[in-house]
Structure 1
Amino acid sequence: MNKSLRPLDVVALGFMTFAFFLGAGNMIFPPLAGYYAGDNLLPAIAGFLLTAVGLPLLGLLAIAKASGGLPTLGRFLPKKASTLLGLVIYIILVPVFGIPRTALVAYEMGVLPFIESPGAMTLALFSLFYFAIALFFALKEGQLIDNVGKIIAPILLLLLVVVGIGVMVSPQGEIGLAQQEYATSPFAKGFLDGYMTMDALAALMFGLLIIHALRNKGINDSSKQFNYLAIAGLIAGAGLALVYIALFYLGATSHLLTPTPDNGGQIFTEYVAAIFGPVGQLVLAAVVSLACLTTAIGGISAFGDYINDLKPTIPYRKIVVVAAVSCLVIANVGLSQLISLSIPILMAVYPVAIALILLTLIADRLRNPQLSYIVTLSVALAFGLLDGMKAAGLELTSLQAIPLFDQGLAWVLPTLLALLLTAAISSRATVAGVATPEA
């Protein structure tokens, strides 16, 4: 018997997906990007939404189309390469950068404003408490839709609506002038800043988690899983887009409040305090803490599912405990250090993730998907590494001739060219009877 979700469960699934995506980077990068975008706000938002909303939606659809997680997406790659790619993405997102960052943002925006003399011990105690809660919910495998989608996410959404209305109704200044790279190439800069949310990578991780949640609700039919995942993605994407637009506008009108901001968290904190007063700090603390916590719960749970699928002999509960402890240790490095370390790595890995998503969506149209996958992803990785090295501060002036290299997008044209050429070559080879059969 094929089960179906009730309308309330479908909405809860969408809220859960939204809550998983709305984490640390979503709260701190848009205000700062909006601050620098200024009167180039619209093209900057367009570029940002493409990588921070559009790509995650495509990623969820790719997961749904492949009826599985990263192992299924990489099915046309050599097994070891597919497994390595999945491990790299999950390790970046969970124990190394993504989930530790959620704790640090929650700490800096939700705790520090209320503490007079914080120190290393304060952070250690907070991160211990934070990951204990995340682990508690992650251990309740099979109850994520009920716990996150029906309880935590609606509270988070209500708080965000309050903040968003406040920002739009009571702006704290005029839109400022565009600065730095946003003055010359706002769309490209917004596109790259969308990387920092890690949401396109997160879609590859959370897609499998959502499928597991559907299976726990008795939804085993692949077509129904695709439909529910698509609906959840649309709900999450609409929510994220509204949040980003509000936060960009917040940043663009914050020049009087924060003439020289250190980070987006500072802009967000001072803006909300100016609108709502002392109560605003409490509202912001609740918003940030819940947003980051839901992402941590989802990330740790997804990591447990992924490793357990790879190695069924390792119990899920043991995996999530180890993941939570690893996140706890890394979180005590500090937010600034973590962000500076993550930028070059994201610049290198993101092109591969984007190419993988696009390849999955058109895989059934490729005559020789093995060839297209291997060549296209290899080219994306090679040029992504160049972008990563540039972001790390290495002098690569000899490579300036590469199109879009100066904008951090050296991978775009070579990757598209590799995809088109392999599609054409494999098509001709098929006519000659050489290519492998269509999968």
Structure 2
Amino acid sequence: MHTSHPVRNLSTIFIAALMLFSMFFGAGNLIFPPALGAEAGENFIPALIGFLLTGVALPVLGILAIAISGRDIHDLANRGGVIFGVLFPVLVYLSIGAFYALPRTAVVSFSTAVVPIFGIDSLPAAALFSALFFGVSFALCLHTGTIVDALGKVLTPLLLLLLAVLVILGISTFSGDAPAPTEKYGEHPLSIGFISGYLTMDSLAALAFGIIVVSSLQHKGIPQGRALTRGVSIAGIIAGVLLAIVYAGLAIIGAHIPQGRSFEDGAQLLSYAAEQTMGSWGASIFGLIVLLACLTTAVGLLGATSEFFAKLVPAISYRVWLVIFSLIAFALSTLGLSAVLMVAAPIIGVLYPAAITLIFLTLIEPFTGKNLYWTFRGALGVAVAFASLSALNTLGWGSAIIAPLISWSPGFSQELGWAVPTLIAAVIGFILDIRSPRTLKKATAYSA
């Protein structure tokens, strides 16, 4: 019988938590909170709470859902049917991976860490940097079992140290009164913060990263079953706490820095804060923070995407997928992202409601003692359909017909109109599940 050392397990779980934090904490996560703090001003606390609900709590719940489902996003998505079980995870990995988030990590790193420090801004320089960036990411992903060591033991502690220095110096230096909130954050700062966190896409990333956490803990000797589920859950919670602390510190800097709204974005604000608190070395230190944040996210996305497709198409090995996605990300990072963003944004808008629905239904299912067959299918079908219509309406395609069909739903103007119809479909599906003989057997495969 397999036994494991509890102290060694705790150390392994903590390192996995640092790895998970580093994969969540990309450049976007670094620059959103200070911008929120600057705009919310005196209302930054309720705005921050809303941001933490969707920017931290929901991704952590996504990791818990992966732990409960047993393996990866494919197992979880299968609850919505065979077609949904394939298309949803494929689109998730492609949307936040090689066709969007991966090339963005290199572009942001170059523009923030190379251009300001070295004054070099040309296509050949960007291409050379991207080649080095994805070369390092590829090397770190060659062996899945070493990802937890590379991120958890080396890169993440350095990233956290630099962030701690920036936050502590920033809070102690910028102690003036917060300005009045902007009009957007004046009346409903909690809901606006909630929507801002929703747009971080970390809930989709949580579903993608879950496979890396599970495989890393298994590689370190934690057996499958309750021990593995508990380990993944604890790692997710620790990562969430670290994210919340960092977000709060960055938001405080944004709320109290002089003329915080004069900066174009959160990156410029933090770069100025670093220069003011750490002198001439500040820009270099901030550039290193951004580079580490982008690199750790790139490693997580590249490894998770390649491992998923290697399982989906076993004829092509993990290493071949690594090469394929590294080359795609490199090409897009040098060609520009404007066209990619135009395609990715509406796709992500359709995927996100389905992801939220999957997460909550997966967490609820073990408490029902039943296999929620119709609940999953009904709720997911409505979530995807409503979100698809909403995306088409936003793009202006058939708005004259679509808008009257969906504008009745609460939250429609805030891109949350899918929530109430999805809830209604889930309730109807649950009633059918209670009355259906096929769902009387407990879904033990999803409640390990």
Contact persistence 1:36–1:179 (CA under 8 A): yes
Structure-2 change in CA distance of 1:160 and 1:387 (3 Å): farther
- The answer to whether residue 423 in structure 2 is matched with residue 416 in structure 1 is yes
- The answer to whether residue 73 in structure 2 is matched with residue 66 in structure 1 is no
- Where does residue 76 of structure 1 map in the other structure? 79
In 2, the alpha carbon distance for the partners of 1:247 and 1:341 equals: 31
Q: Secondary structure at the match of 1:74?
A: helix
- The answer to whether residue 92 in structure 2 is matched with residue 89 in structure 1 is yes
- Where does residue 331 of structure 1 map in the other structure? 333
- Where does residue 27 of structure 2 map in the other structure? 24
Displacement of 1:106 in angstroms is 1.5
Displacement of 1:182 in angstroms is 2.3
- The answer to whether residue 296 in structure 2 is matched with residue 294 in structure 1 is yes
In 2, the alpha carbon distance for the partners of 1:382 and 1:201 equals: 18
Contact persistence 1:40–1:182 (CA under 8 A): yes
Once the two structures are overlaid, the 10-residue window that deviates more, 220-229 or 29-38, is 29-38
**What are the residue-to-residue correspondences of 1:139-154 with 2, within 5 Å?**
139-154=142-157
In 1, the alpha carbon distance for the partners of 2:155 and 2:101 equals: 20
The residue type equivalent to 1:41 in the other structure is F
Displacement of 1:306 in angstroms is 0.6
CA RMSD between the two structures: 2.2
The residue type equivalent to 1:2 in the other structure is T
In 1, the alpha carbon distance for the partners of 2:84 and 2:348 equals: 19
Among candidates 423, 429, 433, match of residue 426 of structure 1? 433
Q: Secondary structure at the match of 2:178?
A: coil
**What are the residue-to-residue correspondences of 1:134-213 with 2, within 5 Å?**
134-171=137-174, 173-213=176-216
Contact persistence 2:49–2:193 (CA under 8 A): yes
Structure-2 change in CA distance of 1:185 and 1:332 (3 Å): farther
Among candidates 278, 281, 287, match of residue 279 of structure 1? 281
Q: Secondary structure at the match of 1:155?
A: helix
In 2, the alpha carbon distance for the partners of 1:316 and 1:110 equals: 31
- Where does residue 446 of structure 2 map in the other structure? none
Cα deviation code 1:258-307 (max 9, x no counterpart): 52x32221222122222222211111111111111011111111111111
Displacement of 1:65 in angstroms is 0.8
- The answer to whether residue 408 in structure 2 is matched with residue 405 in structure 1 is no
Displacement of 1:177 in angstroms is 2.3
Structure-2 change in CA distance of 1:245 and 1:314 (3 Å): same
- Where does residue 3 of structure 1 map in the other structure? 4
Q: Secondary structure at the match of 1:75?
A: helix
Displacement of 1:223 in angstroms is 1.1
Contact persistence 2:38–2:260 (CA under 8 A): no
Once the two structures are overlaid, the 10-residue window that deviates more, 232-241 or 273-282, is 273-282
5+ residue gaps, structure 2, are 444-448
- Where does residue 374 of structure 1 map in the other structure? 377
Once the two structures are overlaid, the 10-residue window that deviates more, 176-185 or 67-76, is 176-185
Q: Secondary structure at the match of 1:302?
A: helix
Q: Secondary structure at the match of 2:125?
A: helix
Displacement of 1:221 in angstroms is 2.4
Structure-2 change in CA distance of 1:42 and 1:385 (3 Å): farther
- The answer to whether residue 135 in structure 2 is matched with residue 132 in structure 1 is yes
In 2, the alpha carbon distance for the partners of 1:337 and 1:163 equals: 34
- Where does residue 114 of structure 2 map in the other structure? 111
The residue type equivalent to 1:265 in the other structure is A
In 2, the alpha carbon distance for the partners of 1:177 and 1:308 equals: 52
Contact persistence 1:188–1:407 (CA under 8 A): no
- Where does residue 256 of structure 1 map in the other structure? 259
Once the two structures are overlaid, the 10-residue window that deviates more, 83-92 or 178-187, is 178-187
In 1, the alpha carbon distance for the partners of 2:251 and 2:330 equals: 31
Contact persistence 2:373–2:439 (CA under 8 A): no
Contact persistence 1:173–1:254 (CA under 8 A): yes
Structure-2 change in CA distance of 1:362 and 1:66 (3 Å): same
Cα deviation code 1:195-220 (max 9, x no counterpart): 33221111111111111111211223
**What are the residue-to-residue correspondences of 1:300-339 with 2, within 5 Å?**
300-334=302-336
Among candidates 261, 265, 273, match of residue 267 of structure 2? 265
In 1, the alpha carbon distance for the partners of 2:192 and 2:341 equals: 17
In 2, the alpha carbon distance for the partners of 1:388 and 1:168 equals: 40
Structure-2 change in CA distance of 1:151 and 1:3 (3 Å): same
In 2, the alpha carbon distance for the partners of 1:214 and 1:125 equals: 35
The residue type equivalent to 2:194 in the other structure is F
* TM-score using structure 2 length: 0.91
Displacement of 1:366 in angstroms is 6.5
In 2, the alpha carbon distance for the partners of 1:383 and 1:133 equals: 41
Among candidates 223, 226, 229, match of residue 226 of structure 1? 229
Cα deviation code 1:357-393 (max 9, x no counterpart): 1111112316451211111011111222244345546
Count of matched residue positions in the alignment of Structure 1 and Structure 2: 435
In 1, the alpha carbon distance for the partners of 2:282 and 2:395 equals: 37
In 2, the alpha carbon distance for the partners of 1:280 and 1:341 equals: 36
Contact persistence 1:173–1:256 (CA under 8 A): no
Contact persistence 1:369–1:438 (CA under 8 A): no
Q: Secondary structure at the match of 1:191?
A: helix
Contact persistence 2:409–2:420 (CA under 8 A): no
In 2, the alpha carbon distance for the partners of 1:223 and 1:271 equals: 45
Structure-2 change in CA distance of 1:336 and 1:241 (3 Å): farther
Once the two structures are overlaid, the 10-residue window that deviates more, 156-165 or 181-190, is 181-190
In 1, the alpha carbon distance for the partners of 2:254 and 2:394 equals: 24
Displacement of 1:185 in angstroms is 2.7
In 2, the alpha carbon distance for the partners of 1:263 and 1:393 equals: 28
